Structure 1
Amino acid sequence: MSVRLERSTPVPTTQSTATLQSQPPLDSGLRPGVFRRVLGIVGVQNISLLMAIALVVAVIGSQNPLFFTVGNLRVIGTAIAISGLLAVVQTIVIIMGALDISVGSIAGLTSVSSAMIFTATGPFIGVVGAIGIGMLCGLLNGCIIVFGRVNPVIATLATLAAYKGVAQLISDGRAQGYTGADGFFVFLARGTLLGVPTLIWVLVIIAVLAHVLLRYTSVGRNIYAVGGNDIASRLAGININRYIIGVYVATGAIAAIAGVLITARTGSGQPVSGSEGLELEAITAAALGGAALKGGKGTIAGTILAVILLGILTNGMTLLGVNSFWQNVAKGALLIVAVVIQQLRSGERRIGLPG
């Protein structure tokens, strides 16, 4: 039998009681302001990302004043739109405790498909057809993982090669179609709405929808639960297989939208160019944004900040004349740093070191 010891609380004297009564409550007059609301959305854990962005902006801006021009800021915004879409949906997959390495290949396949369907029919059917193909690719990924009982990394690594091969087969390895004269694709690539490029609006809309899904719906809570503890989630009645397939289908759809944007920017369907390496950028941004690769943790706000940081770094290195090969080295190094930081924060025993 255990005995619970209660801690006695001293009774305040008359003088101390009067003093306490004379002092205003600690939170009187402290109403949640704009700063607190923004901080609640961004997250305290993302302050380090904001500080890193400020530092990088200051360093690059001091070396090249052209960095702060409106034209260059537009370039950064439009450049991160496509990788940002894939990073947002990759974050959801990682929160669920999985990974999708095939998103870049799906974007390439749907880029070619949208251009070829557009040439035969029109822009609307081209976009809808591309999204349908992307959803089928995501469905195939989910079915391989669920019914084939294949690790998500191995499954999507295989489909990464397969989807890239299909894109090259149907396009004969060349760019297909020409969308540079179509009003809809031109609006996607170079149009503006309220002074903001359309590409950025697409990213903002998808990011807001993903944020609302994860934070304010039961579906989002279940995704966190599945990533945090799949056994407990199954015992709680969550249909894990349905969530895995659903998330991968959604991933394919968003990757298809990214493919359509690639087609709009380049004016033609690109089987590889424009989509190769996007999976690495998406995973890097999600990890930098705080998404735990073991699942159950991550935010869309953190991912967007990481996407902005990567975009600024890439643009800054280009302005400063850094070799593009070194840019790839920097992205790989950032991914390693992000994973190491996650491992240190988790407090788990490092592999190869004594416990």
Structure 2
Amino acid sequence: MAHGLSQERIVLMIATGLFILFSVTLNGFLSADNLLSLVQNVSILGILGVGMAIAIIGRGIDLSILSTMPVSVAWLLNLINGGMPIWAALLCALALVVVIGAINGFLIAYVEIPAIFATLAMGIVVYGFGKAYLAPIDAVYITRTDAWFYSIGSGRVLGVPTPVIVFALVAAAAYLFLRYAKLGRFIYGMGDNPLTARITGIPVRPMMLVQYIIISVIALIAGIVMATALSGINTRLALSTMVYDVILVVVLGGIGLSGGKGGIRNVVVGTLLIGILLNGMTIMNLTYTVQSILKSTILLLAIVADTLLNPRDEQTAQHGDI
């Protein structure tokens, strides 16, 4: 495909076209409040998309991200509501997600379970463990907290919702990490060709641990933004289909499932398209079922396009990529 018609550019053109179409045909779409709401609503999806992008670029995938996020934050809120200082509760939640990420990385790197199966099973374990020991009640609400913590998801800076700012900061940090840090380049090397990466001296197995720990920490950040925006979190989110929305954002933006390709800019482009689409469908009062059908169709088309643009090799198939 010509450089001028890369998947990223095509998606950006479609997003621009949808924005113009909805602006002309849907009442209230161009209002300032709706545009801010549009960006705010997809900020959490975008943050999770950054984490998923790091997994896929390294020739992996993390299906446990949607269990890690609500379970860790529900436990965090329970600790805060129980009287623990916020900084101590944050450290506990951080330790939990680091352990989850390390276990994911260990199963994939050392036990050599394909990432899709290891993280799928780990997601079920995390949800079950969380329901049994950390957050027995589905919905956990914020009953006491400091203003600065609450403002993470519900505040504004110069009129810009703080979730948008957090998304921008996470995306910028991930961009700098992948582009300029040695560990970030290692992740690209692992995704491009794991065997060559080992031969050239990249510590592939330890890097997988680092990779999945980073993803789990990003999931915690997304959960904190969601909880402070909604004054609580529901652990049943782990059973939702939101993980497919996250994959949709990443693949649609142009990050190849074969690994080693794409970047954070692709996540931003994919998030913009999905945000505009979801916002437009909501204004049109389309039912949840119809929206799910449309999103599923788009995901299927995106995977087909990715297969044509980024053919998978034998190593990719052996790794268990989707």
- What TM-score does the superposition give when structure 1 sets the normalisation length? 0.82
Query: Contact between 2:192 and 2:260, CA under 8 Å: does it hold in 1?
Result: yes
- Per the alignment, residue 271 of structure 1 pairs with 235
CA deviation vs aligned residue, 1:281-337 (integer Å, no higher than 9, x gap)? 211111111111111111110111101111111111010011111112222112111
Unaligned runs of 5+ in 2: 314-322
Which shifted more, 137-146 or 263-272? 263-272
Query: Contact between 1:66 and 1:72, CA under 8 Å: does it hold in 2?
Result: yes
Structure 1 residue 230, shift from structure 2 partner: 0.5
1:230 to 194, 198, 203: 194
Letter in 1 for 2:42: I
Which shifted more, 205-214 or 276-285? 276-285
The change in CA–CA distance for 1:45 and 1:273 in structure 2 (over 3 A counts) is: closer
Select the structure of larger CA radius of gyration.
1
- Per the alignment, residue 126 of structure 1 pairs with 89
CA deviation vs aligned residue, 1:66-89 (integer Å, no higher than 9, x gap)? 111111112112111111111011
The change in CA–CA distance for 1:295 and 1:59 in structure 2 (over 3 A counts) is: same
Query: Contact between 1:180 and 1:267, CA under 8 Å: does it hold in 2?
Result: no
- Per the alignment, residue 82 of structure 1 pairs with 44
Greater relative CO, 1 or 2 (CA 8 Å, sep 6+): 2
1:345 aligns with 2:309: yes
CA deviation vs aligned residue, 1:1-59 (integer Å, no higher than 9, x gap)? xxxxxxxxxxxxxxxxxxxxxxxxxxxxxxxxxxxxxxxxxx96522122111111122
Rounded Cα–Cα distance in structure 2 between residues aligned with 1:250 and 1:199: 19
Structure 1 residue 341, shift from structure 2 partner: 0.8
- Per the alignment, residue 189 of structure 1 pairs with 153
1:336 aligns with 2:293: no
Letter in 1 for 2:115: P
Alignment map for 1:165-184 (pairs within 5 Å): 165-169=128-132, 170-179=134-143, 182-184=146-148
**What SS does the corresponding residue of 1:176 show, helix, strand or coil?**
strand
2:101 to 113, 116, 138: 138
Which shifted more, 247-256 or 50-59? 50-59
Q: How many residues align?
A: 309
The change in CA–CA distance for 1:103 and 1:303 in structure 2 (over 3 A counts) is: same
Unaligned runs of 5+ in 1: 1-42, 350-355
Alignment map for 1:1-355 (pairs within 5 Å): 45-120=7-82, 121-169=84-132, 170-179=134-143, 182-273=146-237, 276-346=240-310
Query: Contact between 1:133 and 1:256, CA under 8 Å: does it hold in 2?
Result: no
Rounded Cα–Cα distance in structure 2 between residues aligned with 1:345 and 1:270: 38
Could you say what the CA RMSD is over the residues aligned between the two structures, in angstroms? 2.2
Rounded Cα–Cα distance in structure 2 between residues aligned with 1:321 and 1:306: 23
Rounded Cα–Cα distance in structure 2 between residues aligned with 1:347 and 1:93: 18
The change in CA–CA distance for 1:67 and 1:48 in structure 2 (over 3 A counts) is: same
Query: Contact between 2:80 and 2:145, CA under 8 Å: does it hold in 1?
Result: no
Rounded Cα–Cα distance in structure 1 between residues aligned with 2:312 and 2:41: 37
Letter in 2 for 1:85: I
Rounded Cα–Cα distance in structure 2 between residues aligned with 1:94 and 1:273: 22
CA deviation vs aligned residue, 1:200-220 (integer Å, no higher than 9, x gap)? 111100101111111222222
Query: Contact between 1:127 and 1:260, CA under 8 Å: does it hold in 2?
Result: no
The change in CA–CA distance for 1:348 and 1:221 in structure 2 (over 3 A counts) is: closer
Which shifted more, 151-160 or 337-346? 337-346
Query: Contact between 1:262 and 1:274, CA under 8 Å: does it hold in 2?
Result: no
**What SS does the corresponding residue of 2:279 show, helix, strand or coil?**
helix
CA deviation vs aligned residue, 1:239-286 (integer Å, no higher than 9, x gap)? 100110000000111101111122212212421248833321211111
Rounded Cα–Cα distance in structure 1 between residues aligned with 2:219 and 2:206: 20
Structure 1 residue 166, shift from structure 2 partner: 2.2
Rounded Cα–Cα distance in structure 2 between residues aligned with 1:290 and 1:250: 21
Query: Contact between 1:97 and 1:228, CA under 8 Å: does it hold in 2?
Result: yes
**What SS does the corresponding residue of 1:272 show, helix, strand or coil?**
helix
The sequence identity of aligned pairs, in percent, is 26
